[in-house]
Amino acid sequence: METLKNYIDGGWVSSKENNTATVVNPASQEVLGKVPYGTNTAADVATAVSVASKAFASWSQVPVMKRVQPLYKLKQLLEEHAEEIARTITMECGKTLAESRGELQRAIENVEVACGSPSLMQSEFSENIATGIDEFMIRQPLGVCACVAPFNFPGMIPFWFLPYAIACGNTFVLKPSEKVPLTMVKVFQLIEKLDLPQGVINLVHGGKETVDALLDHPEIKAISFVGSTQVARYVYARGTANGKRVQAQGGAKNPVVILPDADIEMSTQIVTDSVFGCAGQRCLAASNIITVGDNGRMKEALYEAAKARTTGYGLDEKVEMGPVITGESRSRVEHLIDKGVSEGARVLLDGRKAKIEGYEKGNFIKPTILEGLPLGGEIIRTEIFGPVMSLIELKTVDEALDFINSGNYGNMACLFTSSGANARKFRNQANAGNIGINIGVAAPMAQFPFSGWKESFFGDLHGQGRHAIEFFTQTKVVVERWPKEWSRKF
């Protein structure tokens, strides 16, 4: 099996690194590919940054109306190849085909929003700030920008950044997750068909060594990172210490509060989709499900819906939940469930040691529900990143808000209710950057920032929309005087 190539300077080139990591289908354990992995990937980064730096000189001078033209073509190509890319996502990442199609749709929407960069980059002008003097602000690109992506949305997350970065006049180096590099290889086979100058968009494979090389390279001006909090914090610290702009989106532990006046049927369906969709491997997956008041009927409905969910290989259209990414992840999730039990939780529904016919070696965990985790314990605050729901009973909305606001993460908080006043209070007081009211996955559309707070985000400007335009440009303010005595008489 050939090792995956990097895409540098408009062509596919072999890595300088001979060591590889394997890309494995998490359902079947079939080896899908080999990806360069080791210290010599730093040399690949050096080559990619050098060509991107050279390309920046001319690309930054291309008018923005012209810079977005390849994005229109990219949207069309992504749509034409959507099914093929979605199948690749499912094969390497494990999620269902419907989830992969949805993810790609979100990627395409980011391309569409970035096509509006000619308007989004427009700036401010003040005439006559003093007699005969005008002042205005312009936005200019930064230079070479890099993105480091996680495994759980291989088709979408690079698009929170890539289209905006290049539309703003920067050049770009992407490092996908070594666990799921095939999706971006497919996307870059489309990027290859665009009328883009060589070196504007580049792809380098690898793991930590590749990331460190990007963080330390003096020609890289900005880093966009998405992944676990531990690595996000590290990337933010090392990147900013090296004088770069960094936006680093991290992990989560998302609470959902269900009030007694919530619509039981609707809440059940939406909440179980949020907890178990993508096998719980979404940074916006609901995890702690907090019922306020008597939760008897709600608990029963959630239990029945979770139990009825079909787990299996995502390419099978009937399947509603796929495996987790690696055997190691499966062991980790099962260990966290065990730990929850040792802290005092009861297992209402046990998905450990799941076996799926035909995929006996797959990394499957079936839907699991824990009840009675102590509020002061560790598991109730730990990102499990697997299909595990923790049921929590509290007495009031204020108790729920206190619990939410005492947590380390702030990616998402949701409320289910039919009371406008409680909804209003919740959206005002919950300390999270993405709020859902009768919504289970409050994923911002491409025109809004993906607003994590607290340990779910390190930086100032988030991915997507106007935040991305601001992140990928630096402002220049011009104060200008043209004395009227200098005007020629015509």
Residue 411 sits in the site that holds ligand NAD (CB under 6 A) = yes
Segment interacting with ligand NAD, rule: CB under 6 A, options 22-30, 41-49, 224-232, 468-476? 224-232
- What sign does the dihedral 309-312-317-321 (CA atoms) show? positive
Residue 154 sits in the site that holds ligand NAD (CB under 6 A) = no
Residue 103 sits in the site that holds ligand NAD (CB under 6 A) = no
> How does DSSP assign 412-443, residue by residue?
EEEEE-S-HHHHHHHHHH---SEEEES-SS-P
Of 54 and 466, nearer to ligand NAD (C-beta) is 466
- Find the binding residues for ligand NAD in span 111-150 (CB under 6 A): 148-150
**Distance between CA 48 and CA 54 in Å, rounded?**
10
The conformation of residue 280, written as its DSSP 8-state character, comes to G
Name the percent of the chain in helix, strand, coil, to the closest 5: 40, 25, 40
CB-count burial class (<10 Å; 0-12, 13-18, 19+) for 396: exposed
Segment interacting with ligand NAD, rule: CB under 6 A, options 37-45, 115-123, 243-251, 360-368? 243-251
At 129 the three-state DSSP class reads strand
**Distance between CA 320 and CA 95 in Å, rounded?**
9
| The only residue of 7, 416, 450, 472 in contact with ligand NAD, by rule CB under 6 A | 450
- What are the angstrom distances between the C-alpha of 300 and each of 164, 257, 295, 392? 46, 16, 9, 14
| The only residue of 28, 268, 456, 464 in contact with ligand NAD, by rule CB under 6 A | 456
Q: How far is the CB of 455 from ligand NAD (least distance, A)?
A: 10
Of 221 and 454, nearer to ligand NAD (C-beta) is 454
- Find the binding residues for ligand NAD in span 178-197 (CB under 6 A): 178
Residue 251 sits in the site that holds ligand NAD (CB under 6 A) = yes
| The only residue of 25, 28, 41, 177 in contact with ligand NAD, by rule CB under 6 A | 177
Q: How far is the CB of 197 from ligand NAD (least distance, A)?
A: 27
Find the Cα–Cα–Cα–Cα dihedral 326, 330, 333, 338, rounded to 10°.
-160
Residue 267 sits in the site that holds ligand NAD (CB under 6 A) = no
Of 59 and 172, nearer to ligand NAD (C-beta) is 172
Segment interacting with ligand NAD, rule: CB under 6 A, options 22-30, 105-113, 205-213, 356-364? 205-213
**Residues in Cβ contact with 347 at an 8 Å cutoff, skipping those fewer than 6 apart:** 337, 341, 368, 369, 370
Tokens standing for residue 121? 């980059």
Catalytic: 283? yes
**Distance between CA 140 and CA 473 in Å, rounded?**
5
Of 50 and 228, nearer to ligand NAD (C-beta) is 228
Residue 381 sits in the site that holds ligand NAD (CB under 6 A) = no
The one catalytic residue among 93, 145, 147, 283: 283
**Distance between CA 232 and CA 255 in Å, rounded?**
21
Number of residues that bind ligand NAD (CB under 6 A): 28
> How does DSSP assign 151-190, residue by residue?
SS-TTTGGGGTHHHHHHTT-EEEEE--TTS-HHHHHHHHH
Residues annotated as part of the active site:
283
Query: Which residues contribute to the site for ligand NAD (CB under 6 A)?
Result: 148-153, 175, 177-178, 207-208, 211, 226-228, 231, 234, 249-252, 283, 383, 385, 411, 450, 452, 456
